[in-house]
Copies of this chain bind each other. A is one copy, B any other.
Amino acid sequence: MPSGSESPLGKATIFDVAEQAGVSIKTVSRVVNNESNVRDATREKVLSAIRELRYKPNAAARELSGKRSRLVGLVYENAQEFNYLKDVLNGSLDACEARGYALLLCPITLPNPDIAARIREFVTQARVEGIVLPAPLGDLAAAAALLRQLRIPVAAIAPKDPRPEEINVSCNDGAATCSLAEYLIEQGHRAIGFIKGHPGHGASAARFAGYRRALQRHGLAFSAALVRQGYFDFDSGKTAASELLDLAKPPSAIVASNDDMAAGVLFEARERGLTVPRDLSVVGFDDTQIASRMWPPLTTVRQPIVQMAETAARLLIDKLNGEAVQSPDEPFECEVVIRKSTAPLASIT
């Protein structure tokens, strides 16, 4: 053994490694940072010294010297639908861990008088290099404008208005909603209600468009009376269902733009003594945990949120590392999940 004591807990510094490998610290730095101009033999020597000493670069020193914090921020709306965030979190975290980045959280509680101030504070204080921005925040004008002004790279998940210069990851909500609606039509439903999602959320318009497309394809007339505005939360779904069911000619099926609202529909139906799916078919969107735990379990659409978030964070980090990245060409695929909240229209008379 060449020198003093073994490092017990990765406390070795770059100097120790340099000494052990018989090179300068700069060369160790080159190896650690994967720079190309190092002879293979030298690289090997350094790598084995690193392994032996269990060397981990000191992040603070790296940041202080190199101006790169290796920190990515996740700015999200701290409200309903935490299952969505759970997936976003897991996906982002995976990408960060794989690339030696850490993820910092910045929940935004709406309504917030000054989102811009909060985000600015976050960016400067937490010194993140880039931001993962899941819907619906990507569409908040204040947030988007500020981030752009701060010139901080952003990766948006399911943004309403994708910006070509930013990283965007989304899935084919529209097509999936269309499939879902077509499924109902095939089951014999003709009067199909629709509850729109939050207007600020990019997916809302796409899902609504999918619904209309399904009607059109099957030659069914679109009726604005069967459409209600919701906000992706349980209560708005319940209210919308109440209005829809109060109609003189109520729908025999309701498409809710997400599961929380579908849960509200189910709740409202129960309060009215209706039996789902016998008296009313209901579908949701997202396949959140609640979807399979309600009674009846919801027919819905599963989105690959984890993968979308992982992709967004990965591309973001690659971009931060100077690579020329591009948003995925194709949106991610959603999957329709048929459960028990839907049934063929009971023939009457």
A63 contacts B by Cβ under 8 Å: yes
Q: Which of B69, B82, B90 is the one whose CB lies under 8 Å from A86? A: B82
Report how far A293 CA is from B107 CA in the complex, Å. Answer: 24
Q: In the complex, are the beta carbons of B293 and A295 less than 8 A apart? A: no
Chain B residues within 8 Å of A260, by CB = 293
Q: Which of B78, B264, B290 is the one whose CB lies under 8 Å from A290? A: B290
Report how far A204 CA is from B234 CA in the complex, Å. Answer: 30
Binds B, one of A53-61, A168-176, A189-197, A316-324: A53-61
Chain A facing B: main interface SS: helix
Q: In the complex, are the beta carbons of B127 and A234 less than 8 A apart? A: no
- Residue of B whose beta carbon sits closest to that of A124: B10
Q: Which of B10, B107, B234, B295 is the one whose CB lies under 8 Å from A270? A: B295
Report how far A234 CA is from B294 CA in the complex, Å. Answer: 11
Q: In the complex, are the beta carbons of B107 and A104 less than 8 A apart? A: no
Q: In the complex, are the beta carbons of B89 and A105 less than 8 A apart? A: yes
A267 contacts B by Cβ under 8 Å: yes
CB distance from A64 to the nearest CB of B (A): 4
Interface string of A38-64 (1 = CB under 8 A from B): 000000000000000000101111011
Q: Which of B60, B69, B125, B290 is the one whose CB lies under 8 Å from A293? A: B290
Known interface pairs A124-B9, A267-B293. Does A60 touch B69 (Cβ–Cβ under 8 Å)? yes
Q: How many copies does the complex hold?
A: 2
Q: Which of B102, B105, B266, B295 is the one whose CB lies under 8 Å from A267? A: B295
Interface string of A269-297 (1 = CB under 8 A from B): 01000000000000000000110011100
> Which of A59, A69, A290, A293 has the most chain B CB within a 10 Å cutoff?
A293
A263 contacts B by Cβ under 8 Å: yes
A126 contacts B by Cβ under 8 Å: yes
Report how far A240 CA is from B19 CA in the complex, Å. Answer: 62
Q: In the complex, are the beta carbons of B124 and A107 less than 8 A apart? A: no
Known interface pairs A56-B124, A60-B64, A125-B56. Does A234 touch B267 (Cβ–Cβ under 8 Å)? no
Q: In the complex, are the beta carbons of B10 and A82 less than 8 A apart? A: no
Q: In the complex, are the beta carbons of B102 and A103 less than 8 A apart? A: no
CB distance from A343 to the nearest CB of B (A): 16
A93 contacts B by Cβ under 8 Å: yes
Chain B residues within 8 Å of A85, by CB = 86
- Residue of B whose beta carbon sits closest to that of A126: B102
Report how far A162 CA is from B195 CA in the complex, Å. Answer: 49
Report how far A296 CA is from B251 CA in the complex, Å. Answer: 24
Chain B residues within 8 Å of A223, by CB = none
- Residue of B whose beta carbon sits closest to that of A58: B64
- 21 chain-A/chain-B pairs, Cβ below 8 angstroms: A9-B124, A56-B125, A59-B60, A59-B127, A60-B60, A60-B63, A60-B69, A64-B64, A78-B90, A82-B83, A89-B105, A90-B107, A102-B104, A103-B104, A105-B105, A260-B293, A267-B293, A270-B295, A293-B294, A294-B294, A295-B295
